[in-house]
Amino acid sequence: MFQKDYWSMSQDELTVLAQKFNIPDIGRAGESGSIWYFNRDYVIASLVNRDTALRTRTTSIIAIASLVISLIALVVSILKK
């Protein structure tokens, strides 16, 4: 659940992660787009967004499970009376 430190990773490590998660890691620059470069900022931002989305989903699942357990406990306590 902790954020990975993508800024300390090498370009090769980031390229592997970008390819694994289908994140475009190459950018184009220049007048006609003839200069190709590794877009480190975009890759890191995309990985952070992905981690945040996954963390949010996990938190939601835990919250829903807690709510269901609480409702079950309430029903059980009512039925025992």
Rounded mean pLDDT, 58-65 = 86
Cα(42)–Cα(32) distance, integer angstroms: 21
Domain membership of residue 73 as a residue range? 6-80
Cα(23)–Cα(19) distance, integer angstroms: 6
SS3 29: strand
Burial of 43 (0-12, 13-18, 19+ CB in 10 A): buried
- Number of structural domains, the chain? 1
48 has pLDDT over 70: yes
Q: Which of 56, 55, 33, 45 is nearest to 6 (CA)?
A: 45
**What pLDDT, on the 0 to 100 scale, is given for residue 4?**
81
1 in any annotated domain: no
40 in any annotated domain: yes
